[in-house]
Structure formats: C-alpha cells, structure tokens
Structure 1
C-alpha cells in the first residue's frame, strides 16, 4: 500500500533553495567528480569507506553477541519476508525466548537496531514478532526502544555520508521537506510529531533527511520516541493474532490510516492556529 502524501503549507523556502544550489555546485565541481567512484554512484571513496567501516563494526558486534548466546537450531531461524515465514519463526522462537529471555531480548534488539540503522526491509515483521512473543505492553516498549535507537543511529550515519545519497534518491522530496522545515522552525516539534504519527513521508526518508535539513537531534529523538507509539501499538497488537493476519497490507486499512491522520491533525493544530493569528 502506498502511503498518501500530504503537502502542508506553502511559499517560503529561500534558505533551503540556497542550500540546494550550493550543494549542486559542489557536486558539479571537477574536484568532486574526480573523487566519485562512478558517474552515477553518489558516494566518494572516503564516504564509502566510512559506510563500510560502520557496517563492519555492527556486523562484528552482532557476530559476538550471537556467539555468546545459548545454542539453538539456527537452521530454522531466518529473517521473515511473509506472514507465513513469521508464523514459523514465532513457533521456533517461543520456547527459546522462554528458556533464555535475557539473551533472546539482546539478540532481538541487536538485529532490529541493525536493520533500522542500515535501512534493511523487514522491521515490521520484527514488530509483529514482539507482539506475538511478549504481548502488547512489553512488545510496545521493545519496538519503540529499538525503532528509536535504530533511527538515531541512521540519523548520525546520514550526518556523515547521507547528503549525496538523499540528493541522489529523492531530490524533489528533499527540496519539499527542506522548505517545510524552514517554514516551521518555531513549531518544529509539532511538525515532526505529525510526520512520525502519519504516513505523510516514509520513516526511512525522515531518518536520512533530518540531519541534512538541520533538524536538531533532540527534536528528532523526542518526535521519534513519541510519534512512533500509535503505529507501533497497532503493529504489536496485530502480532497477537498472527493466525488471522493474511498480509502486512491488512495492518493499515482505511480506518487505521484515518485514526493516525486524526491524531496527527490534533498534534499539528496549535502550529496552524498560531500561524493564522500571526497573519490576522
């Protein structure tokens, strides 16, 4: 299901346009082109080396964590890609999670944060698994913690090497986002909460683009940890009834999306009302 896109507000954005022009000039400069690995590849050799170094650190950390975990039938454990895969994984992990709860939670959190940091698809299955194994309350705590930690890691990784990637993948969307942020500096928290609660912009894009458009980390962090609660609750709660769930698309039907946008509208209302008073 493709999330609807809502454009809020209009005008402004001069500061964002100037930044775009400056970055475009830098990217078109001969010195920049010489350091690119390929005319179409967005990263320089240094940026690629940084990305590989960070990735290697995470992989080594995961390796040592799983080496220290009690033995299990790892042949039956794999990242789920369908609801059927998830049901089998849940059955295989239920006993292990009961026998070794601390080790299992450490492994679960490590995999979730790794996937979220490096934008690996499938975290929604990890969220459903949390509900199926731990129930709504503990599952929600786990999902919000891991999603926030992974998004924060992605934020700092993007701060290092994200600008060329985002400019390469989503140039138009980045310009739109930059303009909206420039107009909402005074009520930035409300706007970021709105984006996190509603599917207006993908969370992946928000994680990568936020440091590029100069969203302070404390605003990003608070908006993430609070704004992800409604959607995470829906997903974790659905994990309790995996047998009835046919597809991931069933999670976000029209009614669910309407509720999320209603919550988001309540959040952003103070900013809209303040702007109206200012122009009156």
Structure 2
C-alpha cells in the first residue's frame, strides 16, 4: 500500500471535524434544540425502538470518531430517550466503536511519522506503556479530566494492541456513561421546569472521588509488578 493511502482515514476524520466547526453545526446539537423537539423525538423513539437504538449508536460512533465537541450532550440524551441502563449500554457501544475507528486511523496515519520524529526519545516510555497498556488506558479512561479524543490517539502512537484497547475502553467508560445517562433520565423534568442541566456534574467531588478511586485501583497491578520486580540493575 502506498504510504499516502494510510493517511486517507485520518484525513477524512479531520476534514469532517473541520467542516463541523466551520459550518457551526454545533448549534444543531445543543440542549436548546433538545428543548424544542424533545416531545417529537421521544415519541419517535417510542414508536421505533430498534431503529432509534441503532441510529443512536451510529450517531454516537460518528461523534467520537470525528472528535466532535458535542459528546457531553449525547450520553444524557441516551438516558433521556432510552432510560438509564439501556442508554448507558448504547452509549458505551457507540463510544467504543467510534474510539476504535479513531484509534485505527491514527495508528495507520501517524504511528510511523511519530516514531521517526520522536521514537528514539520515547522508546522507554513506549516499552513501559506496552507492558501494562491495559491498566494505563483503564486509568486514563476512568479519570474524566483527559480529553477523550486524546486518549483515543495516544495508545495508537505508543503501539497498543487493538484487543486490550477495546476492553479497557469498554470497562473504563462505563462509570461515566452511567452518571451521564442518569442525568439524562431526568432531562424531561428539567425541561418542564425551564432549567438547564449541569453537564459538569462529573467534576463534582461526590462523583469525581469514586472515579479517581477506581482509576487508582487500575494502577495497583502496575505498581505491584514494579515492586515485585525490584530495582533495575544498572548497565
């Protein structure tokens, strides 16, 4: 395969993001739009549950793959339309599919370039990340302060295998998906009261502390293996 063809998937994703921003499409995916059309939307989902579920997963996957800045609204909408548990499950499926697309595109387009530029400098970092890649990625997924798009790309640049990437992604995004789906399940009452939901709830200490605790648990096997191995002998 010619090298330039490896750039095509990533170029498509970047072009889609650029068009989304240039055309100001974010105004069509907003809480205000949900306020206006929530009754019609909920009625359509009730009449077409299977089609609605598949469409929701597809939309979520596209949002994540193109790194569109509206993902924070998509999961609550899933909770609003499908309930907490089904909404969370569909969100996890959609987010995982989109993450895999971006991961594969980044690995195809950027891995060789990245390693030609800084590979020697980061050789030890890459080796350490690969050795415990599942735990490191699980930690990054559970802590909601790292940009989701960045966490999708970095493992691709550091040579993580697809299987552990998918598993760590699925497990790592479940807690936040449940939190946001729970928030979304109450959107009907919020809209009826004329209020605006707090999408920053994930950063409240009552939510953030348990997530931080889970993220630290993900690193315990890494710390244990380092302690058990002992200090590295100098060469």
What is the deviation of 1:175?
10
Any conservation in 2 of the 1:86–1:125 contact (CA below 8 Å)?
no
Aligned pair partner of 1:133 in 81, 87, 92? 81
Runs (4 or more) in structure 1 with deviation over 4 Å come to 44-56, 163-167, 174-181
Deviation at 1:106, TM superposition (A): 2.4
Q: 2:167 pairs with 222, 245, 250, which one?
A: 222
- Pick the structure with greater CA Rg: 1
**Residue in structure 1 matching 2:97, options 130, 141, 149:** 149
Counterpart of 2:69 (choices 108, 112, 121) is 121
Change (3 A) 1:214 1:98: same
TM-score by length of 2: 0.76
Q: Which runs of 5+ in 1 are unaligned?
A: 1-43, 57-77
Equivalent-residue separation in structure 1 for 2:78 and 2:126 (angstroms): 34
Match of 1:17 in 2: none
Per the alignment, residue 249 of structure 1 pairs with 200
Structure 2, unaligned stretches of length 5 or more? 16-26
Check 1:176–1:86 CA distance in 2 against 1; reply closer, same or farther (3 A cut): farther
> What's the CA shift string for 1:219-264, capped at 9, x where partnerless?
1110001111011111111111221653322342122111111011
Change (3 A) 1:116 1:53: closer
C-alpha contact (below 8 Å) 1:128/1:238 kept by paired residues: yes
Q: CA RMSD in A?
A: 3.3
Q: Residue 274 of structure 1 aligns with which residue? A: 225
More displaced stretch, 127-136 vs 188-197: 188-197
Give the C-alpha shift of residue 148 in structure 1: 0.4
Higher helix share: 2
After TM superposition, give the deviation of residue 46 of structure 1 in Å. 5.6
How much does 1:176 deviate? 10
Count of residue correspondences: 212
Judge conservation of contact 1:119–1:204 (CA < 8 Å) in 2. Answer: yes
After TM superposition, give the deviation of residue 47 of structure 1 in Å.
6.2
Q: Equivalent residue of 1:120, what SS?
A: coil
1:153 and 1:241 mapped to 2: Cα distance? 31
Q: Tell me what 1:192 maps to.
A: 137
> 2:121 & 2:100 partners in 1: Cα distance?
22
